[in-house]
Structure 1
């Protein structure tokens, strides 16, 4: 619950969605390795370890579905960029990379005017 969703700036909405997504992932057993990692090609919202998989997580937060759902906003171009970014993260953090799968996930967060939120997690986007 997060009252006053309508009064939040776009940046605050995004940050709130990322916190909700992180809580959802951790509750599901994921270990957060990095948040808002940036390089010259862009940013990864979250990097987590989910079992043996190293996962780049794109978090998309919306207040309405007028322009589509949060998950619908992830395009093939975005998936390709996330794939490159995950490779760059691995190159930048060789000590944190183990053998196992690399995966791209998307977490969509829809914030209701009441402050309630729905969270959808799609594993293996673009696989």
Structure 2
């Protein structure tokens, strides 16, 4: 990640973190079926399904940070945020009737992007099922 500050830097870090998270999830056996889905109530970063459990839609919140000075990225997710993601999942399913999955799981992927070296990924499954 290059130098700089402000909204453009923040957006670039977030987009990089989402790409890292998607690769991590795919390596863990999930298939990404949607990215950055938005409605008037909010945004879902990633939506996935598992080859092992295709009956479960996995809604993923990605939190990316360049430092852990204020805690790890996953510590930024509150119960309220997880509950909002659950509601957004219902709206996503309503907009995608071709997906007939009866179960929804909310995962959080934290990506810590150090100044040097590889990003550190922390994947919490089923923070709210």
TM-score normalised by L of structure 2? 0.89
1:1-127 mapped onto 2 (5 Å cutoff)? 4=2, 6-7=3-4, 9-50=9-50, 51-52=53-54, 53-99=56-102, 101-127=103-129
Aligned residues: 123
Segments of 5+ residues of structure 1 without an aligned counterpart are none
CA shift at 1:97, angstroms? 2.5
Secondary structure (helix, strand or coil) at the match of 1:77 reads helix
State whether residues 54 and 97 of structure 1, in contact with CA within 8 Å, keep that contact through their aligned partners in structure 2: no
CA shift at 1:76, angstroms? 1.0
Aligned partners of 1:97, 1:71: CA distance in 2, in Å? 29
Cα RMSD over matched residues? Answer: 1.4
TM-score normalised by L of structure 1? 0.91
CA shift at 1:98, angstroms? 2.6
Segments of 5+ residues of structure 2 without an aligned counterpart are none
Residues 38-80 of structure 1: per-residue CA shift (max 9 Å, x gap): 0110000000002221110000000001111100000111011
Residues 65-109 of structure 1: per-residue CA shift (max 9 Å, x gap): 11111000001110111011000000000112234x210000000
Aligned partners of 1:102, 1:126: CA distance in 2, in Å? 9
1 or 2 for the larger relative contact order (CA 8 Å, sep ≥6)?
1
